């Protein structure tokens, strides 16, 4: 009575609205080629194991290749009545090659099929994202190399703290994206196991060869428990967790780019290609790209929470709830890829206004700590040195002077340990270059780091 692949036990047609409500085909067409990849390996294995005839397996594989061709050419028509990508492809196969197509589903279920599809798809996307991340690291390294002379104010609490090399600041972000890369590579290892063979939940009665299928599909091995295989979505959650941390990093960089490109900071100029104007204020050049990436971070966090909440309290094994895993995962992938893609180019093209950074670094008493460290080297305990320099800064504020502008006599009003060599310690270069230990902002430390990054 029904044209559904599962229609046998039903006597009445599915309600039209329920059909639409339960269908996932509207949002999972991107899994099509992966579904076919998994099905081809499964069919070949069925032939090799004598579960179906080799000739039948060949017919099925050829049919699947035709469907893949149609999908790639945009000629495949998907039907909501067929619910999901798996049944759309299987129905088309049967339509094309006849009843032998019905043998494909031997020894498997949509539950292990969808699990393998998502893993194959996500693995490809991970490889693409790893590539973008490496490119973004290169853009940051290039910015660092090209601007080694630029000194900017380093901040804590967004108050001027100590001068730092702009290159050092860029390499701080490289560290974050390198950790993101390592997190993504770690989760790829756990993802790359093959769930096919779990069947609906308990395994299959047919003599399948899971290890062979896993090898054909480029998996490192097979999952070890059929119940877990069909009910596990940890890989999607881990991916969204990676993505949330990555977007947090991108949003921090975005925030700095927005601030730096404002008239008040005036530290950088983003290329026109990444900005837009205002429909009313002719002078405006808005940093839309970093603003949007900062904004999109919210939806990625939301998707992580959606997935965690989706999986919370689900009994073993597969539950239809899990069909809701796709949209958050897909949207996260699209958002991360788009954000990285636009950042790679925007960072590479960003112009640095080194003079303005330097002027800002010279203000705000950024070398005050260097005066305190100087007094400490002359024998004063640090706490007392802190007090001496605090008073010096107050004097500067009252007289409208900056630290390097003070005369020796003025310095000595606060401590007679201070001598003429103080002037060698309060320039921006001296302050920066004194911080030579690994991880410091001294030019030689940053150059060493750049060397290390380029040789790794």
Segment near ligand ARG (CB under 6 A), from 58-66, 315-323, 349-357, 422-430? 315-323
**Distance of closest approach, residue 110 Cβ to ligand ARG, in angstroms:** 4
Residue 268 touches ligand ARG, criterion: CB under 6 A:
no
C-alpha span between 355 and 266 (Å, rounded): 10
Residues 6+ apart with CB under 8 A from 73: none
- The SS3 call for residue 414 is coil
C-alpha span between 59 and 284 (Å, rounded): 63
Segment near ligand ARG (CB under 6 A), from 37-45, 191-199, 306-314, 317-325? 317-325
Segment near ligand ARG (CB under 6 A), from 294-302, 319-327, 392-400, 419-427? 319-327
Residue 306 touches ligand ARG, criterion: CB under 6 A:
no
**Distance of closest approach, residue 309 Cβ to ligand ARG, in angstroms:** 17
* Binding residue (CB under 6 A) for ligand ARG from 110, 168, 233, 443: 110
Q: Which residue has the tokens 């993504």?
A: 184
Task: With residue 43 as reference, give the H or E element that holds it.
Answer: helix 32-48
Task: With residue 165 as reference, give the H or E element that holds it.
Answer: strand 159-165
* Binding residue (CB under 6 A) for ligand ARG from 114, 126, 317, 350: 114
Residue 251 touches ligand ARG, criterion: CB under 6 A:
no
195 DSSP assignment: -
194 contacts 221 by C-beta, under 8 angstroms: yes
Segment near ligand ARG (CB under 6 A), from 11-19, 70-78, 106-114, 285-293? 106-114
- Report the residue number, 157 or 320, with the smaller CB distance to ligand ARG: 320
**Distance of closest approach, residue 307 Cβ to ligand ARG, in angstroms:** 13
Q: Which residue has the tokens 């036990």?
A: 9
C-alpha span between 219 and 196 (Å, rounded): 11
C-alpha span between 285 and 257 (Å, rounded): 13
- Report the residue number, 327 or 373, with the smaller CB distance to ligand ARG: 327
**Whether residue 363 lies in the annotated active site:** no
- Report the residue number, 76 or 201, with the smaller CB distance to ligand ARG: 201
* Binding residue (CB under 6 A) for ligand ARG from 59, 111, 143, 162: 111
For 235, the token pair is: 């890989």
Residue 297 touches ligand ARG, criterion: CB under 6 A:
no
Catalytic site residue from 157, 313, 407, 456: 157
Residue 105 touches ligand ARG, criterion: CB under 6 A:
no
Residue 203 exposed, middle or buried by CB count within 10 Å (0-12, 13-18, 19+)? middle
- Report the residue number, 114 or 352, with the smaller CB distance to ligand ARG: 114
**Whether residue 86 lies in the annotated active site:** no
- Report the residue number, 323 or 335, with the smaller CB distance to ligand ARG: 323
Identify whether 305 is preceded by a cis peptide bond (ω within 30 of 0): no
Tally of CB atoms within 10 A around 401: 14
258 contacts 287 by C-beta, under 8 angstroms: yes
Residue 323 touches ligand ARG, criterion: CB under 6 A:
yes
- Report the residue number, 9 or 320, with the smaller CB distance to ligand ARG: 320
- Report the residue number, 84 or 238, with the smaller CB distance to ligand ARG: 84
Residue 65 sits at the vertex; the CA angle it makes with 64 and 68, to the nearest 5 degrees, is: 85
Tell me whether strands 193-194 and 159-165 are parallel, antiparallel or unpaired. Answer: unpaired
**Distance of closest approach, residue 214 Cβ to ligand ARG, in angstroms:** 20
Residue 322 touches ligand ARG, criterion: CB under 6 A:
yes
* Binding residue (CB under 6 A) for ligand ARG from 44, 84, 90, 449: 84
C-alpha span between 114 and 107 (Å, rounded): 14
Segment near ligand ARG (CB under 6 A), from 178-186, 318-326, 379-387, 435-443? 318-326
C-alpha span between 78 and 68 (Å, rounded): 13
Catalytic site residue from 254, 278, 279, 363: 278
- Report the residue number, 90 or 370, with the smaller CB distance to ligand ARG: 90
Residue 50 exposed, middle or buried by CB count within 10 Å (0-12, 13-18, 19+)? exposed
- Positions in the binding site for ligand ARG (CB under 6 A): 24, 84, 110-111, 114, 318, 320, 322-323
Write out the catalytic residue numbers.
157, 278
């Amino acid at each position: 009575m029904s044209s559904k692949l599962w229609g046998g036990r039903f006597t009445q047609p599915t309600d039209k609205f329920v059909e639409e409500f339960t269908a996932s085909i509207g949002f999972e067409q991107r899994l099509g080629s992966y579904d076919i990849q998994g099905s081809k390996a499964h069919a070949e294995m069925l032939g090799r194991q004598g579960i179906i005839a080799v000739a039948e397996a060949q017919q099925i594989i050829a049919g699947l290749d035709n469907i893949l061709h149609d999908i790639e050419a945009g000629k495949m028509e998907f039907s909501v009545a067929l619910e999901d990508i798996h049944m759309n492809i299987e129905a088309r196969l049967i339509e094309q090659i006849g009843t032998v197509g019905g043998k494909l589903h031997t020894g498997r279920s949509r539950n292990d099929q969808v699990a393998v599809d998502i893993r194959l798809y996500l693995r490809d996307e991970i490889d693409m994202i790893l590539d973008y991340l490496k490119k973004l690291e290169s853009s940051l390294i290039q910015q660092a190399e090209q601007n080694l002379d630029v000194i900017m104010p380093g901040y804590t609490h967004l108050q001027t703290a100590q001068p730092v090399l702009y290159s050092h600041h860029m390499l701080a972000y490289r560290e974050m994206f390198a950790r993101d890369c390592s997190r993504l590579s770690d989760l790829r290892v756990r993802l790359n196991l093959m769930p096919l063979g779990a069947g609906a939940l308990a395994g299959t009665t047919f003599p399948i060869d899971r290890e062979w299928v896993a090898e054909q599909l480029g998996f490192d091995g097979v999952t070890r428990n059929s119940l877990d295989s069909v009910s596990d979505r940890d890989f999607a959650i881990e991916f969204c967790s990676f993505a949330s941390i990555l977007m947090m990093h991108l949003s921090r960089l975005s925030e700095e780019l927005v601030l730096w490109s404002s008239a008040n900071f005036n530290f950088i100029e983003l290329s026109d290609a990444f900005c837009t104007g205002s429909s009313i204020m002719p002078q405006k050049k808005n940093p839309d790209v970093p603003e949007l990436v900062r904004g999109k971070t919210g939806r990625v966090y939301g998707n992580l929470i959606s997935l965690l909440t989706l999986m919370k309290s689900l009994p073993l094994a597969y539950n239809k709830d899990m069909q809701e895993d796709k949209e958050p995962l897909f949207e996260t992938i699209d958002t991360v890829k788009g954000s990285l893609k636009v950042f790679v180019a925007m960072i590479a093209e960003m112009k640095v206004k080194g003079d303005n950074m330097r002027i800002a670094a010279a203000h705000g008493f950024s070398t005050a700590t260097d005066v305190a460290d100087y007094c400490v080297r002359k024998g004063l305990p640090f706490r007392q040195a802190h007090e001496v320099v605090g008073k010096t800064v107050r004097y500067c504020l009252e007289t409208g002077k900056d630290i390097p502008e003070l005369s020796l006599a003025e310095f000595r009003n606060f401590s007679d340990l201070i001598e003429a060599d103080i002037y060698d310690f309060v320039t921006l270069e001296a302050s920066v270059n004194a911080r030579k230990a690994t991880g410091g902002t001294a030019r030689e430390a940053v150059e060493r780091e750049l060397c290390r990054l380029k040789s790794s």
